[in-house]
Amino acid sequence: MNKIKIKNAGQIRNALTGWYNKNCRKLPWRKTDDPYFIWVSEIMLQQTQVNTVIPYYQRFIHQFPAVKHLAAADLQQVLKLWEGLGYYARARNFHKAVQMVMTIHDGRVPDTLDAFKALPGVGDYISAAVLSIAFNRPLAVVDGNVKRVLARLFEIDTPVNHSSSAKLFQSIAGVLLNQNDPGTFNQAVMELGALVCKPSSPACGACPLTEMCLAHQHQSIDKYPIKLKKAAIPEHRISVGVIFKNKNVLIIRRPENGLLGGLWEFPGGRMVKNETPEHACIREINEKVNLNVAISSKLTRISHAYTHFKIEADIFICDYESGRVRLNGPAAHKWVGLERLDKFPFHKSNQKFLSTLIDMQRNEGCTR
């Protein structure tokens, strides 16, 4: 592990904050000191690009303008507003957290590290970001952008995605932190990583830290940050059935805990070895919802990548034949008309074929 000696912390601090004050993006959550609004933005910004977050943030605070409004909302309403943003555990944990804020903290976002970090979904990054920006607490933020900036600035050989790197980067960020204005400094480092010190083709000519950057001095920018190679992401074949019973289709809700918890989907699942997509569709439907169906046509094939795996899914149009819904895994079910599907929060892989399904309804007149 590197032993980093920082002799120019003050110079780095001044250069960064000066650059930030002149060049930072005018983002909506930077126009407020409301800790709830800042918390919303930081939750959404985890694993998600700024341009994607902006419209979600604006819709979210319009619908839930204060902690009490979000705490009182039904989780399905929250998930629907979050639909398409991904990483839905963020929304579920945030909903639980604000309910705790209402019951334990009288509706006020706690301003101490221990109290704030005790809330669901609040880890090192969220606590440092929200508390430093909203309450001026001297806590250093470390995310992917910060690691990249620091790795290049000090030529850090420890892989950024190795467990041993967390304490190292946190320690360096803590030394550099402006104790008097930690929120601005934290945002400055992250902004530099987002706008200038990019993963590829960094704009070193526009960087305020060029003269202090060891990787720039040694022409080793492309080497940093160092990352361990990840194992290949597994791919799964999936079969999904859109079951028509008269003019309604069957949708099921996933259990609240777990991957894509609380979201709706059409029944289906993984193909087993030597199984055809059609057989997998019929089998999975029977196993999960106890219905017998007949496939009438193939709607489409979609591909989707999650964080730890990829899927390729065949989507079939099915006709209900017999049976009564009895759930084996799903938390709930509904028979709904296609025109009502937009009222339910679906995960991204199902969203990819909803428009095709609606177009089919229009073209065929939904005469089932």
Task: Say if residue 133 is in the same domain as residue 158.
Answer: yes
pLDDT, residue 47, reads 87
Task: Say if residue 256 is in the same domain as residue 333.
Answer: yes
Task: Say if residue 205 is in the same domain as residue 276.
Answer: no
| Block mean pLDDT (10 aa), the chain, length 368 | 76 96 95 96 94 97 97 96 93 97 97 97 96 97 96 94 89 95 97 96 95 95 93 93 95 92 96 95 97 96 91 96 96 96 94 90 61
Task: Say if residue 39 is in the same domain as residue 168.
Answer: yes
- Whether 3 maps to a domain, the answer reads no
pLDDT, residue 365, reads 57
pLDDT, residue 367, reads 45
Among 223, 246, 267, which residue terminates a domain?
A: 223
Segments forming the whole domain that contains residue 69: 9-223
Q: What are the residues whose beta carbons fall under 8 Å from the beta carbon of 86, sequence distance 6 or more?
A: 47, 48, 348
Task: Say if residue 42 is in the same domain as residue 189.
Answer: yes
Task: Say if residue 171 is in the same domain as residue 314.
Answer: no
Verify cis geometry, omega within 30 degrees of 0, for the bond prior to 55. Answer: no
- Whether 4 maps to a domain, the answer reads no
Domain containing residue 212: CATH number: 1.10.340.30
Task: From 318, 320, 302, select the one nearest 242 (Cα to Cα).
Answer: 318
Separation of alpha carbons 10 and 139, rounded Å: 17
Task: Say if residue 216 is in the same domain as residue 251.
Answer: no
Among 223, 251, 270, which residue terminates a domain?
A: 223
- Whether 2 maps to a domain, the answer reads no
- Whether 187 maps to a domain, the answer reads yes
Task: Say if residue 22 is in the same domain as residue 114.
Answer: yes
- Whether 263 maps to a domain, the answer reads yes
pLDDT, residue 106, reads 96
pLDDT, residue 1, reads 44
Q: Which residues are catalytic?
A: 42
pLDDT, residue 275, reads 95
Task: Say if residue 167 is in the same domain as residue 264.
Answer: no
Task: Say if residue 265 is in the same domain as residue 337.
Answer: yes
Among 223, 254, 279, which residue terminates a domain?
A: 223
pLDDT, residue 68, reads 97
Tokens of 77: 């309403």
Structural domains in the chain (count): 2
pTM of the model: 0.89
Task: Say if residue 211 is in the same domain as residue 241.
Answer: no
Domain containing residue 288: CATH number: 3.90.79.10
- Whether 353 maps to a domain, the answer reads yes
- Whether 192 maps to a domain, the answer reads yes
Task: Say if residue 138 is in the same domain as residue 242.
Answer: no
- Whether 1 maps to a domain, the answer reads no
